[in-house]
A and B are shown apart, each in its own frame.
Chain A
Amino acid sequence: MLLEVQDLRVEFATRDGVVSAVNGVSYGVDAGETLAVLGESGSGKSVTALAVMGILDSPPGRVAGGRILFQGHDLLTMGREERRRVRGERMAMIFQDALSSLNPVLTVGYQLGEMFRVHRGSSRAEARAGAVELMDRVRIPAAAQRVNDYPHQFSGGMRQRIMIAMALALEPALIIADEPTTALDVTVQAQVMDLLDELRREYQMGLILITHDLGVVADVADRIAVMYAGRIVENAPVKELYARPAHPYTKGLLESIPRLDAKGTRLSAIKGLPPNLLRVPPGCPFHPRCPRVRDVCRKDPRPPLYEIGQGRSSACHFWKETLGDAGRR
């Protein structure tokens, strides 16, 4: 395993009390593999990634427990300087909003070249050449002319390519992409996802794709971890998850999206709202919204992540029944 997150807990101290944003999350990624972490806002998918990268705002955030093994070493017990080196060279992150992740007063060439200057001690000329090469690699047209342009002179899709170039600069073993195409239009989204997928294959990188878009996931992921209220509720290879979801939340999500190729009557919405993390309901956190709820679901202990097959797990007491429901549509 390239990266293994084990029982990770992250807490935030807020005015109203301590919030457990991530509550015992475990997942792993192999080299060359794409893991999609799927969840709605507040599910803890981004916070988990920030903790893995070690760029959690702390305070108020703090890793309260668990281990993060990267190439066999626990990142959480590493010294600051060692962690910083790993972060730059061997793992990188791509954020959703490229415009606010790039410095508006520096040229993109300078910002890309910074990777080489800081981590490799390159000269300015070498760094610039490296920047042009990177821009070429992510297929920005006329890279040599555009290297001295500022971020605002690029379109949204091009800026996201620059972010990808920056992440690739030191050829990391792992890339975490947090909603990399959410701010982009569909035709540009397709370009960027294709590029990311191709680069992952070329460099045999592990890719963690954090998203809420079930369509994007189906297109590129090998495996999926579904998060809800700071926990993983289902873990499965992509095809099996879409064909036979084993958790009512996953099933509800799949049924609530309209499909381009089929026009149904009413969408079957999941009733209610995701819980407030300050007041997560006892028992299964999904039980107030679950169509399959029984008494046992309302009481602690919470359902554990049941192993239900090869590489599959589900945190539902009634996973068998959920699986048994005939495939949707």
Chain B
Amino acid sequence: MTQVEGEAGAPGPAREVILEARGLVKHFPLTRGILFRRQVGAVRAVDGVSFTLGRGETLGVVGESGCGKSTVAKLLVSLERPTAGEIIYKGEDISRLSGRALKAVRRNIQMVFQDPYTSLNPRMTVGDIIGEPFDIHPEAAPKGDRRRRVRDLLDVVGLNPEYLNRYPHQFSGGQRQRIGIARGLALNPEIIVADEPVSALDVSVQAQVVNLMERLQEEFGLSYVFIAHDLSIVRHISDRVGVMYLGKIVEIGTDHAIYDHPTHPYTQALLSAVPVPDPEARERRERIILAGDVPSPANPPSGCGFRTRCWKARDLCADVEPPLAVPVEFAAAPGVVAHDSACHFAEEKPQVASA
């Protein structure tokens, strides 16, 4: 894998920015009443998320359930419209597009879903599933050429092209995820947003799919937004990683910065909680066990969202929301410690479980 040089928050200098999120917000209204609906509040699923994605880069997004990472994925592929904020693709805000312009953009930003069992139509053959994007975007492949294209795609993802006429239920979970990936690749997109693409798969099959995604990235120069809750897999595949909590990115940087030099207490707790497959490390590990649960995004705490579970929280944290920026104390520090971290009391405390 290529390592990104340069600043932690931005893609390497060599990389052109292909996609940028600016202050993305998505609120889902909470309503009461049947005849007279009135809004009584909002679930702040995504509450101000900004990042950039470079060409050929993989941006990992990690976070626990309910942190808004899947909503970010849906916003990026225009399955949801943001309440506020912009998504800049090649210099243009795509979040307000509709009709033909939206369709054209969608061709270039495709999605791979988590659950290979429900994201494939059980009544369509594999050939029809992978070929369906061509019905919607007929300009992508001339009519007579489609079958050949579908066979090529099956071959690319490591499935036998003869399986064209089979149905999804005839495949295993790993094979179905390959079909989902083939469908995502059909229109030669530049960006693939993958929402938990391997979470439903067995360990031995996970590795096959991760390897496939890496190979395809090299072959087609794809950019990935890779969303997952499994921190080890995200580290393996990502160039940069953003950590989300309660609808916000709390820390973002290169994989080296986030995993080896985290400065946000949430990232530190998250990393320390990951079980390490090494029994020898059991006694040496220093784990931070967080108290309590994630607060409801319908009623987030004031100031810093993490303060209700944070062992460092002080009055300041309730009053002032820490911005996502390089903390002042590290601004002059050399190396990767100087990366964006939304904490008033950011500290470096290497948390990798064992080496």
Contacts and interface: CB of A to CB of B under 8 A. Distances in A.
Interface of A: 40-41, 155-158, 185-191, 193-194, 212-219, 221, 238-239, 242-243, 252-254, 256-271, 273-274
A260 B207 contact: no
A273 B177 CA distance: 14
A262 B1 CA distance: 13
A191 B235 CA distance: 23
A186 B270 contact: yes
Highest count of chain B CB atoms <10 Å: which of A193, A257, A271 = A257
B64 interface: yes
Contacts of B229: 185-186
Interface in B265-300: 269-271, 273-282, 287, 289-290, 293-294
Given A186-B64, A189-B273, A257 B207 contact: yes
Interface of B is mostly: helix
A217 B255 CA distance: 26
B352 interface: yes
Given A185-B64, A186-B64, A270-B204, A258 B280 contact: no
B280 A257 contact: no
Interface in B233-266: 233, 235-236, 255, 259
Nearest to A38: B203
Contact of B277 (A186, A257, A270): A257
A239 B290 CA distance: 28
Highest count of chain B CB atoms <10 Å: which of A157, A190, A217 = A190
B211 A260 contact: no
6 contacts: A214-B277, A215-B276, A243-B280, A253-B203, A256-B203, A274-B204
Nearest to A238: B279
A297 B281 CA distance: 35
Interface string B207-220: 11011001000000
Given A155-B293, A157-B293, A242-B279, A270 B236 contact: no
B353 A261 contact: yes
Contacts of B355: 261-262
Interface of B: 1, 64-65, 172, 174-175, 202-208, 210-211, 214, 229, 231-233, 235-236, 255, 259, 269-271, 273-282, 287, 289-290, 293-294, 352-355
A260 B65 contact: no
B233 A258 contact: yes
Contacts of B205: 269, 273
A268 B204 CA distance: 9
Contacts of A238: 279
A193 B280 CA distance: 18
- Listed from nearest, the 9 A-B pairs whose CB atoms lie closest are A215-B275, A258-B236, A269-B207, A185-B64, A256-B207, A190-B273, A267-B207, A40-B202, A270-B204
A293 B189 CA distance: 40
Contact of B293 (A186, A188, A239, A243): A188
A218 B275 contact: yes
Contacts of A263: 1, 235-236, 255
A180 to B, nearest CB: 13
A260 B270 contact: no
Contacts of B294: 185
B276 A265 contact: no
Nearest to A243: B280
Highest count of chain A CB atoms <10 Å: which of B202, B259, B269, B279 = B279
A258 B235 contact: yes
A258 B273 contact: no
